[in-house]
Structures are given as C-alpha cells and as structure tokens.
Structure 1
C-alpha cells in the first residue's frame, strides 16, 4: 500500500543522463499508479530563464549574481511546485536541486559546503532520497561530444572535475550512487525499484 508522497532528487555532472533517467523514472511510476510530478531546476521562471541564458553563454554573471538567481528561482520552485505537489499527495521526481548549486557554483569543496548550508538555512525541504548518477568527468565529456550541441559555460574538463569533486564533498551520506555507465534501462530499473521500496509498505 502506498505511503505518503515523497521527494526524490537526481543529481550528476553534465552528460551523466540524469534528465533522461529522471523523466523515464517518473513516467514508469505514474504507469504503476504511483502519482508523481517530474520537475527540474532551474525552472522556467524569469530567474530560471536568466540562469539558462548564463549557462548558454548569452550573458555574463558574477558568482554572487549566479547564487542570488539560483536562490530566487529555488524559492519559487519550492513555493509553487514542490510543497503544493507534496501536500496534494503526489511525489516529486526532480532533476537537480540545491546540491547542484553547491557543486557548480562552489569554487572548491569548502565553498561548496558553505553554499549548501546557505540553502539549508533557507528552510528548503530535504529530499527523501538523492540519486547521484556517477560518471567520471572524462566519460561525461565523451558523451557530451558524441551528442553534440552548443558548448555551455561549465563544459571545460577542469570545470567538470571541480564540480565532480565538489559533489563528492557535499552529497549527504545517504546518497544512492548509481553507475551511470550501465545500460540506460538498467539504471532506470534500479532507480524505479528503489523508489517503489520507499513508497510501498
């Protein structure tokens, strides 16, 4: 029998497959009658759109400006989507959360931890489970090159290495590390089964 709604977050460096995996997980859960909403950050709010412009290299932002936008976008995300959805009895399957902000905007591991605490101090809800799609920066670069598309601000190998190391420093101990080099369907199946255990009694 299903239990109350829960909050599941998918994290990973660029190219790890988290958007594809989280969307597919959400679809399968809905097919299995576990109602949920797939959500992503940055959102499509005015703040989220500005963040995407920055990520695409269309505008330049200082580190302080980046952080401010992420926090403003997340406040709307929590207030308008996350909390109302959970309150209405549906779970959330989310692509990126404040762990991403800490990992990407953190200059180093210590600064990443400071950003994480900054988000926690805002009272943003903690996820029930965090899934980290684990892929080395080298493998992720190969994937991004294969799929093509425009280069983004953090695509440099040195940046992805910094982000990966920041992730390892700030992810909660309960994080479920998923081998992102495995077959896509295997990764999705593993995550679905793990979430179903959490949602079922």
Structure 2
C-alpha cells in the first residue's frame, strides 16, 4: 500500500489547519479534542470541533444506523462511513478550513482503513481508495494516534457497547496494528502518543507538535 502523505501547501491550499485524533475505543480522543480546543480558543483561533460519524445532522442519522441500527455487512458499513465522510468534508470541514479555522475531528478516514479495511478484512488499500475519493484527497495536517492496549481502552467504556466496540478482541488487535503501521509509514503526518499517560501530559505533547503548523492568528478586518 502506498502510504498517505501530509498535505503539500499550494497557492490554493486551505488557510486553516486540520487535525484528526485516532485510536481505539476508550483511549481518550474526545478528552484530547476538548483540551486542544480550549487551548486554541484561548490563543484567539477559531476552532471547529467535530467527529466522524456524526459531525453533521445527516451524520447523526448515519451514526445511528452504522453503530446502533440493524446488523450490516462489512461493505455496507464501509460505504456508510464513506458517505458520512464525503458530506462532512464538503459541508463542514472544507468551508471551515477555507476561512482559516482549526478543525479538530474525533476520527477521520484512517479509522475506516483500520476498522473496515483491517478489522473487517475488506483490505486497507481498497478502503483507503474509497475514503480518499470521498474526501477528494483531503488529509489532515496532523493526525494524533492515541495508542493503548485495546483491553485497557475497552475497560474504560461505560454504557452499552456499539457495533464496533463489541466486535471482539481479535478485531481490536487488528485495528491497533493497522493504526500503528500507518503511523510508522508516514511520520510527517502522524504523532503517536502513549494514551496511558495523564491526560495533561498527552495534551502538552500534542500542543508542542502542533505549534509549528499554526502560524500567526488570522486577522479579520482592519485595525480599529
């Protein structure tokens, strides 16, 4: 498989910064998204916090179907995730980047490659091609992988497990290995962190890696 690469800046590149958080269930992605969002807002950045699936009204319906609805075969599952992602990027992510926002997403296309490609056995190459087509090749500037033993992560969860959370130990082992392999193949885009560390320690490492990508805060309007 040809590894994906971080976006190459160009004259028509988005003005904003795109950051995704990946990893297994229970690793603390939502916590880290919230911590980084508060930090960036305090710096004066516009921050858009979202997730996949479920970052738009349509995405909420697709999330319900793919995680909590009737049983799905793997190909249908992969296509529903791709449909959600295409709409999410076109209607929310790209417009936010174009106006200079920092977009933080809890999961992006790497989750599909790991979960449906490797976990469900559909093939990483095939799911990656589908996912990249859905988003017209848009990749994050930074992808943070919160790595943790799946047994530990799943033990942190509360409430009834969804379809993916209940897929079994071997499924979650394959997805973890897929995430780590993708990160190793493209270190320019990925930051791999031990998710067993205290949350504030993880957050500090994310901020350090992200800082060079942020640049100056965009100025809106003229001086008073």
1:10, 1:133 within 8 Å by CA — same for their partners in 2?
Answer: yes
1:71, 1:119 within 8 Å by CA — same for their partners in 2?
Answer: yes
Q: What is the match of residue 15 of structure 1?
A: 26
Task: Compute the TM-score of the two structures, normalised by the length of structure 1.
Answer: 0.87
- Tell me if 1:197 matches 2:212: yes
2:21, 2:29 within 8 Å by CA — same for their partners in 1?
Answer: yes
Q: What secondary structure does 2:103 align onto?
A: strand
Offset at 1:30? 0.7
Q: What secondary structure does 1:106 align onto?
A: helix
Q: Structure 2: 5+ residue runs without aligned partners?
A: 1-13, 217-224
- Tell me if 1:184 matches 2:196: no
Q: Distance in 2 between matches of 1:68 and 1:62?
A: 10
RMSD (CA atoms): 2.1
Task: Compute the TM-score of the two structures, normalised by the length of structure 2.
Answer: 0.79
Offset at 1:167? 1.8
41-50 or 154-163, larger mean C-alpha shift: 41-50
Alignment of 1:157-168 (within 5 A): 157-168=169-180
Q: What is the match of residue 63 of structure 1?
A: 74
2:109, 2:128 within 8 Å by CA — same for their partners in 1?
Answer: yes
> Structure 1 or 2: larger helix share?
1
Offset at 1:47? 4.8
107-116 or 134-143, larger mean C-alpha shift: 107-116
The count of aligned residue pairs is 195
110-119 or 16-25, larger mean C-alpha shift: 110-119
Could you tell me which of 127, 146, 164 is aligned with 1:154?
164
- Tell me if 1:120 matches 2:171: no
